[in-house]
Amino acid sequence: MFNLNKNKLTTLLKVQYSNMLEYRVEIALWAISGIIPFFMLNIWTNNNLNESINLSNVMLSRYFLSAFFVRQFSVVWVVFTFEEDALLGKISPYLIQPLNPFFRYFAQHIAEQITRFPFAIIIALIFFLINPESVWIPSLSLFLLACLSTFFSFLIQFLIQSIIACFCFWTEKASSIERLLFIPTLFLSGLLAPVISFPEYVKSWIYLTPFPYLIDFPANILSGNNTNIISGFFMQIFWISVLFPIFKRIWSLGTKKYTAMGS
């Protein structure tokens, strides 16, 4: 089904990176548009909301900066691209190549993250200039674990959106299903508030869903906040192993329904 090897992957990444560099201004704007965690930080600190969760101003600002970073390197838009390509028949040439077309989208995302990297660093430097007390250097082990959990967060989101994208084979406007997930992702992922701030009974449910492992968990690791690393990784791997076979199955069923419209 996938036929991926090192050469295919590196060539895909190289080509997609060259392609993304053509859109560097656009990507810089996207990076800037992801500063929502800084607005949230402002709301939290100005209203002293952090006191209710026993988190200092410094730790909270580190958390939101980390959330910004995690968001920058885990943002996924495959459903929109795939939907357009499927409806216009653009995926037809890719479907008859010995490589699953989703690898093209996967490589596009990774290439886009690499292109975003310098812009994210510049934004972080500006943040440190404004909040010098928040400057910190995480230990190498925490940094590597945060990178890994951010990648897992990206994988979870990529798989969720890919599954939804495959609904294009049936419903044509699959992105509207994705809209349903937007609100829980926004509120439960930790982008607007650390999950720790939710009431206990809500938290017990939230931690069973994939949402807190998208932003909150990697951001807590990177910022040095207390978090259960083992259970966090366990849940990330659990969700990846649940979503991957679902994607494979729905892809296989969906391609049977493909009508190659628009061509």
Partner 1 sequence: MEENIIQVENLSKSFDISSKEPGLKGTLKHFFKRQTKSIEVIKNINFEIQKGEIVGFLGANGAGKTTILKILCGLIYPSQGKLSVAGNLPYKRRSNFLKNITLIMGQKQQLIWDLPPIESFYLNAAIYDIEKFEAKKRIKKLSDMLEIEKELYIPVRKLSLGQRMKSELLAALIHKPNILFLDEPTLGLDINAQRNLRKFLQIYNKETDATICLTSHYMKDITSLCKRVICIHEGCLTYDGKLEKLLKKISPVKDILFICKTDKDAEELSNSGFIIKNQNQKEITITIKKDSIKSTLKKILNKFEIEDLYINEPPVDEIIGNILVKEKV
Give the binding site for partner 1 (CB under 8 A).
3, 5, 7-8, 11-12, 15, 18-19, 22-23, 89-90, 92-99, 255-256, 258-260, 263
- Pairwise CA distance, residues 66 & 224, whole Å: 10
Going by C-alpha positions, the residue among 31, 213, 218, 166 that lies closest to residue 112 is: 31
| Between 98 and 199, CB nearer to partner 1 | 98
Quote the least distance from Cβ 99 to partner 1, whole Å.
5
Q: Say how far apart CA 144 and CA 141 lie, in whole Å.
A: 5
Amino acid code (one letter) for 10: T
CB of 22 to partner 1, least distance (A): 4
Please say which residue, 90 or 128, places its beta carbon nearer to partner 1.
90
Shortest distance in whole angstroms from residue 263 CB to partner 1: 5
Identity of the residue, 12 or 146, whose beta carbon is nearer to partner 1 in the bound complex: 12
How far apart are the C-alpha atoms of 38 and 40, rounded to whole Å? Answer: 5
Cβ neighbors of 76 (< 8 A, separation 6 or more) are 109, 154, 157, 158, 160, 161
* Cβ at position 214, least distance to partner 1 in Å: 30
**CB of 94: closest distance to partner 1 in angstroms?**
7
Nearest CB to partner 1, comparing residues 56 and 263: 263
Q: Give the nearest distance from C-beta 142 to partner 1 in angstroms.
A: 36
CB closer to partner 1, 210 vs 254: 254
Cα–Cα distance list, 151 to 48, 73, 134, 237 (Å): 32, 8, 24, 11
Buried b (16+ CB within 10 A) or exposed e, 198-230: beeeeeeebbeebbbbbbbbbbbbbbbbebeee
Q: Which one, 12 or 40, has the nearer CB to partner 1?
A: 12
Confirm if 119 and 32 have CB atoms less than 8 A apart.
yes
